[in-house]
Amino acid sequence: MTIAEEKKFEAFLSEFKSLISKKGFKNTVQKDAVLKILYFSNEHLSAEEITKKVQDEFDLDIGIATVYRSLNFFEEMNVVEALDIGDGTKRFEFKVEQHHDHMVCTQCSEIIEFSDNFIELNQIKIAEKNGFILKDHVMTIYGLCKNCQ
């Protein structure tokens, strides 16, 4: 990670801590570490993977229950999103500003993120056509990745 990326994270973290403090919530070093792992990850990580990364990268004694509590808190605060690809493992990612969808390989479980303006516009049109106001959506496409074909 670059110095600029680190500074961007520190600015986000400072703002986030201020927000949760105003709402009466406490922050911990463990929560900071979980959030930092997710912020800089290009992967969709399970709670177990996050626990291991926090232990390895920050030399923190953190248990899986603490990680789950932190992840639930971050979901409630709308900074982390959960992804269930149907294999019994919930994965997490830092919530990015631009919406994206996922393709999941049913053989190796690779997850590929994608954005498509045509799909987004058509979903709005379909919703309007049916008298529905679209607030959000989750699209997951299942198939075989290039390596597994």
Question: For 40-77, how does the pLDDT look when each residue is reduced to its tens digit (9 = 90+)?
Answer: 999 999 999 999 999 999 999 999 999 999 999 999 99
pLDDT digits (tens, 9 = 90+) for 93-142: 998 777 899 999 999 999 999 999 999 999 999 999 999 999 888 899 99
Q: Is 108 annotated as a binding residue?
A: yes
User: What's the pTM?
Assistant: 0.83
What homologous superfamily is domain 101-148 in, according to CATH?
Answer: Ferric-uptake regulator, C-terminal dimerisarion domain (3.30.1490.190)
C-alpha pair distances (Å), 144 with each of 92, 102, 136: 22, 13, 26
User: How many whole angstroms from its chain centre is CA 134?
Assistant: 21
First-last CA distance in the chain: 33
Q: Which residue has the tokens 């926090």?
A: 54
- 70 and 77 Cβ atoms separated by less than 8 Å: no
The answer to whether 99 is annotated as binding is yes
* Domains of the chain, residue spans: 3-94, 101-148
Q: Is 10 annotated as a binding residue?
A: no
CATH 1.10.10.10 fits 3-94, yes or no: yes
pLDDT digits (tens, 9 = 90+) for 17-41: 999 999 999 889 999 999 999 999 9
145 is in an annotated binding site: yes
